[in-house]
């Protein structure tokens, strides 16, 4: 069983890919919708939230946990991974590897939450692997509430306007590859892609999903997916259904503060 968590809907970008690659697997997803956004939280709070999310998923008997959250992956995952016997996988390594494989000109853009960009986690890993790479990092925190509130249609004027402003430095840099370092961002990949024609977009959640699927034994059991959230499921279910192409999602509410 694979556990996946995020502050909200973003981790579905990893879930969608994993579910496609491992259709017979059992999944349990937790979206911390009662405490989203994570990207503006302090290090200490993020550690507390990540531990609670992990502890909740452990009660379900998962074999591996994907922190499908760029913020948790960048800021606290390395620090807390040693506390657990269950393997914890983040989204940084796999997306950096895909970006390095994709870039032709060595100019790589990274967008993420404020906490992710301040941590420098993506840029450090890119530079460690390729010292001559040029990294252009931009925090795009407003994308998170836009996605959580369903402003995700390709022609959404509000999201297009915000994106044009955020992405101007990426465009100006000549980057040919852009890491969507927050897992919420691939949900508006159409809008981002329209503003950056010719740029290869790397979904950090999907990249991590591909990395896990490569290692995970395939099964011929009957697959299943359970979704949990920490606030009312209504909005989550609705946006999740749109993003997952019509799949019905019926999330259950969990009191995450108990963990």
From the list 182, 201, 209, 212, which residue makes contact with ligand DGL (rule: CB under 6 A)? 182
Options 26, 33, 116, 137; binder of ligand DGL; rule CB under 6 A: 116
Q: Are 251 and 53 in contact (CB under 8 A)?
A: no
Residue 249 structure tokens: 């999602």
Exactly one of 69, 76, 96, 175 is catalytic; which is it? 69
CB closer to ligand DGL out of 45 and 106: 45
Q: Is 156 a catalytic residue?
A: no
Whether the Cβ atoms of residue 73 and residue 50 lie closer than 8 Å to each other: no
Determine if 184 is a binding residue for ligand DGL (CB under 6 A): yes
Of 3, 31, 70, 233, the residue at the interface with ligand DGL (CB under 6 A) is: 70
Nearer to ligand DGL, 94 or 144 (CB): 144
227 lies in the binding site for ligand DGL (CB under 6 A): no
38 binds ligand DGL (CB under 6 A): yes
Residue in 10, 32, 7 with CA at minimum distance from that of residue 228: 32
Distance of CA 102 to the CA centre of its chain: 19
Strands (E), the chain: 2-6, 26-31, 64-67, 88-89, 107-112, 134-139, 177-180, 200-203, 224-229, 252-253
Active site residue 140: no
Alpha-carbon gap, residue 23 to 62, rounded angstroms? 16
**36 is an interface residue for ligand DGL by CB under 6 A:** yes
Query: Annotated active-site positions, please?
Result: 69, 182
- Interaction site with ligand DGL (CB under 6 A): 6-7, 10, 36-39, 69-71, 112-113, 116, 144, 182-184
């Amino acid at each position: 069983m694979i556990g996946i968590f995020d502050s909200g809907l973003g981790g579905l970008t990893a879930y969608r890919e994993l579910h496609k690659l491992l259709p017979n697997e059992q999944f349990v997803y937790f979206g911390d919708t009662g405490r989203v956004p994570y990207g503006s939280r302090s290090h200490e709070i993020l550690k507390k939230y990540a531990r609670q999310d992990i502890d909740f998923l452990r009660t379900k008997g998962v074999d591996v946990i994907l922190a499908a959250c760029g913020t948790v992956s960048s800021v606290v995952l390395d620090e807390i991974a040693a506390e657990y016997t269950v393997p914890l996988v983040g989204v940084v390594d796999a997306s950096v590897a895909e970006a390095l494989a994709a870039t032709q000109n060595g100019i790589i853009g990274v967008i993420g939450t404020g906490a992710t960009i301040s941590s420098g986690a993506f840029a450090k890993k890119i530079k460690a692997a390729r010292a001559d790479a040029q990294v252009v990092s931009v925090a795009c925190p407003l994308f998170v509430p836009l996605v959580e509130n369903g402003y995700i249609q390709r022609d959404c004027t509000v999201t297009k306007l915000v994106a044009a402003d955020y992405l101007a430095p990426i465009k100006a840099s000549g980057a040919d590859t852009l890491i969507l370092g927050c897992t919420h961002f691939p949900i508006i990949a159409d809008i981002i892609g329209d503003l950056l024609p010719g740029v290869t977009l790397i979904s950090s959640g999907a990249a991590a999903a591909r990395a896990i699927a490569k290692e995970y034994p395939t099964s011929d059991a009957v697959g299943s997916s359970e979704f949990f959230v920490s606030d009312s499921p209504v909005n989550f279910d609705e946006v999740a259904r749109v993003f997952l192409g019509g799949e019905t999602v019926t999330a259950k509410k969990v009191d995450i503060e108990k963990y």
